[in-house]
Amino acid sequence: MADDDEYAALLARNWDEVAGRYEEYFVPRFRPWVVATVEAIADTELPGGPILVPCCGTFPELPLLAGRFAGREIVGIDISPGMISRAEQRAVPWSAARAVVQNAAVLDPAWSAACAAVVSVFGLHQLPAPDEAIADWVRALTPGGRLAVAFWPYETDATDPWGLADLLLAGHAPVRERSWEKSLAAAVTAAGATIRRDELVAFEMTHTDAAALWEAMTTAAAGALRATALRHGPEFMERMRQEFLHHAPTGEWRHRRRARLIVADK
Ligand SMILES: C[S@@+](CC[C@H](N)C(=O)[O-])C[C@H]1O[C@@H](n2cnc3c(N)ncnc32)[C@H](O)[C@@H]1O
């Protein structure tokens, strides 16, 4: 438990440090997936209750959700106070929306069987036990409620920037166990929901060039690259950067990325 708390505190600090740059660089580029995930709860009659948004970051889901579900209570939760202070700013126009610092890996029991929907974008894969977390999110749903969760699956394609970075980092960064990806659907079902969709959703992303993207990957998100930078220091990261640029296309970099979207009904 102490280890879990320590890990959560470190992660929160890391996300605090990148929150401003994340909003600037990644929020616009991730928008198509945020739209797709919000759309996934919009084609059903939701029961009463709040919409919970675990791992909301700066809360880009909110304007879309508030536009679709006027007057509904919408609550973003995130472990990073830096992210939540930006989320609170975003929530100002909507009196029924709020953002709170909480750990989404194990939800507060107050959410149990209380929520009309749980919507989460690009947080699940960062949690220590994503299959247990998604089951917890299902348990937060009231009967008739809907879950929509998007996350980045493990990517081994070297034409994908993150796939390329992972290949270059192999042997230098701690390997994250990914067998949980295979257990997610069973975890959702065992927690009492019926899977409606489980598919890869691809959109295009554009970067000025590979150098700008490397800079964003290492300073605008608290993922594996930033963890490696903190661990191995600037010289090592400069070598990685050179390798990355060597393998990347020159000039503007346009690529498609696939996220996995799981939609389920309680
Ligand atoms: C890639 S950002 C996604 C933010 C937002 N949903 C979006 O689509 O832009 C991932 C977020 O997950 C949060 N996060 C990571 N682990 C968490 C945890 N255990 N509990 C709550 N939030 C967590 C991070 O602080 C970060 O804000």
Give the pLDDT score at 142: 98
- At a CB cut-off of 8 Å and minimum separation 6, what does 194 contact? 264, 265
CA angle in degrees (0–180, nearest 5) for 20-25-29: 135
Ligand 1: centre distance to CA 172 (Å): 24
CA-nearest residue, atom 10 of ligand 1: 123
The single-letter DSSP state of residue 111 is G
How many other β-carbons are positioned within 10 Å of the β-carbon of residue 248? 21
* Ligand 1 centroid, distance to 56 Cα (angstroms): 6
- Hey, is 15 helix, strand or coil? helix
Ligand 1 centroid distance, CA of 119 (Å): 12
Given this model, what pLDDT does residue 223 score?
78
3-class DSSP assignment, residue 256: strand
- Position in ligand 1 atom list of the atom nearest CA 19: 27
Give the Å distance between the CA of 237 and the centre of ligand 1.
Answer: 24
Q: What is the DSSP string of 146-205?
A: EEEEEEPPP---TTSHHHHHHHHHTTTSPPPP-THHHHHHHHHHHTT-EEEEEEEEEEEE
Average pLDDT, consecutive stretches of 10 residues, N- to C-terminus, the chain (266 residues): 73 93 98 98 96 98 97 97 98 98 96 98 95 98 98 89 90 80 97 98 98 95 82 90 96 96 98
- Kindly list the distances between the CA atom of residue 232 and the CA atoms of 35, 106, 152, 155, 172, in Å, as whole numbers in the listed order: 36, 31, 25, 23, 9
Q: Taking a C-beta distance cutoff of 8 angstroms, is the pair 257, 188 a contact?
A: no
What residues are in contact with ligand 1 under a 6 Å CB criterion? 8, 11, 15, 27, 30, 34, 55-57, 60, 78-80, 83, 103-105, 121-123, 126-127
Q: Domains for the chain: give ranges and CATH numbers.
A: 2-265 (3.40.50.150)
Residue closest by Cα to atom 26 of ligand 1: 57
- Interatomic CA distance for residues 246 and 227, integer angstroms: 22
> Which DSSP letter does residue 126 get?
G
pTM: 0.96
Phi, psi of 261 (to 5 degrees): -115, 125
Question: Which residues, other chains included, contact 92 with Cβ-Cβ below 8 Å and sequence gap of 6+?
Answer: none
pLDDT at 2: 60
C-alpha of residue 57 to centroid of ligand 1, in Å: 5
Question: Ligand 1 pocket check: which of 55, 83, 103, 127 to mutate, most ligand atoms within 8 Å of Cβ?
Answer: 55
Could you tell which of 6, 29, 51, 78 is best to mutate to test the pocket of ligand 1, judged by most ligand atoms within 8 Å of the CB?
A: 78
For residue 192, which of 140, 228, 153, 240 has the smallest C-alpha distance? 140
Report the distance separating Cα 49 and Cα 73, nearest Å: 7
CA of residue 122 to ligand 1 center, whole Å: 7
DSSP letter for 251, please.
Answer: S
Residue 259 — φ and ψ, nearest 5°? Answer: -110, 155
pLDDT of residue 211: 98
Element (H, E) at 74: strand 74-78
CB 66 within 8 A of CB 94: yes
Nearest CA to ligand 1 atom 13: 55
CA of 29 to the centre of ligand 1 (A): 16
Non-local (6+) Cβ contacts of 164 within 8 A are 158, 244, 247, 248
Q: How much distance in Å is there from the Cα of 145 to the middle of ligand 1?
A: 22
